[in-house]
Structure 1
Amino acid sequence: MVNNEQPSRTALMSAAARAAHLLVDSAPPIFADPLARRLLGEQADELLGYHLAYGDHPVLSGARTAAATRSRYTEDRLAVLAAQGVDQYVILGAGLDSFAYRSEPTGRVRVFEVDRPATQHWKQAVLVRAGVVVPPSAAFVAVDFEQASARTLVDELVRAGFDPGRPALVSWLGVTMYLSREAIGQTLAAVGGLAPGTELVVEHLLPAELRDEAGQAYAEVVMAAAAEQGEPWRTFLGVEEMADLLGEFGLRPIGSVGQRETVPAAEWERSDSLRPFELSVLARASVPAR
């Protein structure tokens, strides 16, 4: 489990997948995170070594596929909204996300990284050791999603400088599967109460009967490993279930995409081992005018 010195193992594995994508897979990359390796610190060689030695293994290539596609889709969407004047980006379950420290629009877009206190403390120490400067446009917001109420999340964001009267993009990637439905609802209620025009990109995992063979094989291995590390997968939602849940908490569903739809079809004509599979889905929703 998370302690005072390390983030969750899943945060490390996601960062390792993003870093390894640039080392193992063919160019051009689906997504480029040049800071991910530095954020792994002293664990970089060990974690990246697995990908370098066994990069074609379905679990490792699947992890890279999932990490690259969800990050690409979300940051592409942020670029569109930023061009329209949206200047607040909330990353729920930020883990070792590096957007705030590597991106061109950081001077124009305020970034609010939300995660558990222990993970936040660890990440800030990692940034110092890596020599990565935290820009004034970035803020850390400590919230435990399983414990926090909708009001708590909004209050903590406001305390960090977030303006609830202006729209934002909210991303919530790689988190909902670890939470109870009640906790997911509390966070959706918070997002649903933000300013009209706010958009949410939220990742959820499909139940077993909706996965393809590759997705089920990946899930069986990774789900068991996550449980052993004290971070069991708890919630699975079909596309319609997620749409209903979003609507229940005041959000207007816009649509959803699987891994295959996150990038143009031509980008799947690859010489490496990355292939889309049916397991994770990105749902997109907005806060309607009141």
Structure 2
Amino acid sequence: MTKPEFPGNASRTAFTAAAARAAHLLVDSEPYLFTDSFAAALLGDRAEELLAYHRLHGTHPVLAGARAEVLCRSRFAEERLSHSGIDQYLILGAGLDSFAYRAAPGRFRVFEADHPATQAVKRELLAAAGVAEPASVTFVPVDFAADPLRERLVQSGLDLFRPVFVSWLGVTVYLTREAIAATLTDLGRFAPGSEIVADHLLPAELRDAAGNGYAEAVGPVAAEGGEPWRTFLSPAEFADLLAAAGFEVLEQAGQRESVPARLWDRTDALRPVALSALTHARRTG
């Protein structure tokens, strides 16, 4: 099977993450770790090809691992958001995230921040799928390597005087440690009470055999596709970066701890892997 092509300059990982969410409902058994009924539609005419990988090879450790990784982080972030009491939701590196199209109308004001090329493709895919852009969602085009994030958010209508809930998933591994710290510093200027859920890949010595196998298989492919992995952090190292930016860690979890234990009583190929960690933190002050 040939490698799938991706439209324009859209992020390859945005499509593979959406495919993993969509494939979960097609190839895995209940109980579902996370339900994303919009993911398949956002794949557009790439859906058949991308989902075929999971249909044909769904038990392969890399594909099963990709599904578990994406599903756990999405569930963890959205559950913390739902209990936060915060109505401004900023998704950094939104990719093909579908929260704004699944959420109850009017409950959240959603800001999707991502590279303009990826956002342009996403909006085309939404239109092609007949999915309306709700008034509650604002697209914030930003080149994270060059544009001032805070300025772009203010221009888009984010209220910096009220708390913001931030999800930052599947992104930090592609950034330098300095870029991660700079972004957290920007986020640390949000109103006290703001919260963040972010994930990061663990260094090799903190991964298990399955986690190292996944990294050895996927890392080179990501680099070949123009998105090399750059930074691996321990939970303590990420907590230190958050503390320096004015955040207090509320919770840290690996895949196994990120969802209810009953969800790992499974008959399919999904298993918790020591590959990454999730952190939930709150802006102090």
User: TM class, shorter-chain normalised?
Assistant: over 0.9
Give the alignment of 1:50-129 within 5 angstroms: 50-81=53-84, 84=85, 86-104=86-104, 106-129=105-128
State the SS of the aligned residue for 1:270: coil
- Structure that is richer in helix per residue: 1
In structure 2, distance between residues paired with 1:35 and 1:265: 26
State the AA in 1 paired with 2:140. Answer: V
In structure 2, distance between residues paired with 1:255 and 1:35: 29
In structure 2, distance between residues paired with 1:7 and 1:184: 22
TM-score (normalised: structure 2): 0.96
Deviations 1:186-231 (A, max 9, x none): 2101110000000010110101111000000001001011011111
The offset of 1:146, in angstroms, is 2.3
Q: Does 1:214 align with 2:213?
A: no
Equivalent residue number for residue 249 of structure 1:
245
TM-score (normalised: structure 1): 0.94
In structure 2, distance between residues paired with 1:176 and 1:131: 32
Q: Does 1:11 align with 2:14?
A: yes
Equivalent residue number for residue 176 of structure 2:
180
Q: Would the aligned equivalents of 1:5 and 1:122 in 2 still touch at CA under 8 Å? A: yes
State the AA in 2 paired with 1:175. Answer: V
In structure 2, distance between residues paired with 1:89 and 1:259: 23
How many aligned residue pairs are there?
281
State the AA in 1 paired with 2:106. Answer: G
Give percent identity, aligned residues only: 56
- 5+ residue gaps, structure 1, are none
In structure 2, distance between residues paired with 1:57 and 1:88: 38
Q: Would the aligned equivalents of 1:146 and 1:180 in 2 still touch at CA under 8 Å? A: no
The offset of 1:185, in angstroms, is 1.4
Deviations 1:84-141 (A, max 9, x none): 3x1100000000000001122x412000001011111111111111111000000000
State the AA in 1 paired with 2:91. Answer: I
Q: Does 1:261 align with 2:257?
A: yes
Aligned-residue CA RMSD (Å): 1.3
The offset of 1:167, in angstroms, is 0.6
- 5+ residue gaps, structure 2, are none
In structure 1, distance between residues paired with 2:136 and 2:57: 38
